[in-house]
Amino acid sequence: MPRTGGVIGLLLACLVLAAGCGGDDSDQAASTPTPEDTGGEQSSGCAQAARPAPKDTQLAAPKRRLQAGKRYVATVKTSCGTFEITLDAKRAPKTGGSFKYLADKGFYDGTTFHRIVPGFVIQGGDPRGDGSGGPGYSVVEKPPGNLAYERGVVAMAKTQTEAPGTSGSQFFVVTGADAGLPPEYALLGKVTKGQPVVDLIGQAPVGPDEQPVDPIVIERVTVAER
């Protein structure tokens, strides 16, 4: 049986609070340096990388949706390796369309996985790197009622006060067998290649704030039709 109360409480602490879907009123945007590989290796087994500077981004909400019947694959290149997410164009065309829009603009390039909960999830996609940032807009797409957040499922983070299915830019990948969550977090897709890389990220040493001790950088995200 999936755990309920304890796991949901953990989600509220790790994913929901300060998920930063819509961003704030600041119009000052910091430049984003390209993460530099120093050639060494972290204690996690990932390549050493410089911590990207935080940035504020304000984008107009996209109108595009993924087309059902087409296959879209997101390639996520990180300092720990590369993994792929097959976006669920049939059940989440609006959420996937927003993710592709952000990837096409290079929004995710030079961001980090800022929160890791071992055996539960890894979370990234925040331009500020602290869980409070977003793209300056949010979209809402009700997730499937029978959605199970199982290992490899990728969904979008939201704040506790936002409606089910609300998302900005922050996403999480389930690393446990079953997160035991209610279907309130917008579906994006599922990891279909590179699960060992996800597992490696999920095992990285973290501090008391659940941030990785060493930066885990998302170097580039691309989405292509296959």
Is 26 among the domain residues? Answer: no
Rounded Cα distance, 129 and 114, in Å: 6
Q: What is the pLDDT of residues 77-116, one digit of tens each?
A: 999 999 999 999 999 999 999 999 999 999 999 999 999 9
Domain assignment present for residue 29? The answer is no
Does the residue 30 lie in any domain?
no
Tell me the residue range of the domain where 151 lies: 5-20+41-49+62-225
CA–CA gap between residue 199 and residue 152 (Å, rounded)? 10
The strand pair at 81-87 and 72-78 is best described as antiparallel
Comparing 134 with 31, the larger pLDDT belongs to 134
**Predicted confidence band of residue 14 (pLDDT cuts 50, 70, 90):** very low
User: Which pLDDT does position 43 carry in this prediction?
Assistant: 58
Mean pLDDT for 190-218 is 97
pLDDT value at 181 more than 90: yes
Q: Is 25 within the bounds of a domain?
A: no
Total domains, the chain: 1
For the segment 165-189, the average pLDDT, to the nearest whole number, is 96
Residue 183: band (very low, low, confident or very high) from pLDDT cuts 50, 70, 90: very high
pLDDT of residue 45: 82
| Position 31 in a domain | no
For residue 220, what is the domain's CATH number? Answer: 2.40.100.10
pLDDT digits (tens, 9 = 90+) for 33-47: 222 333 466 656 899
Name the pTM for this structure: 0.83
Length of the chain: 226
Q: For the residues 201-215, what does the mean pLDDT come to? A: 96
Mean pLDDT computed over 194-207: 97
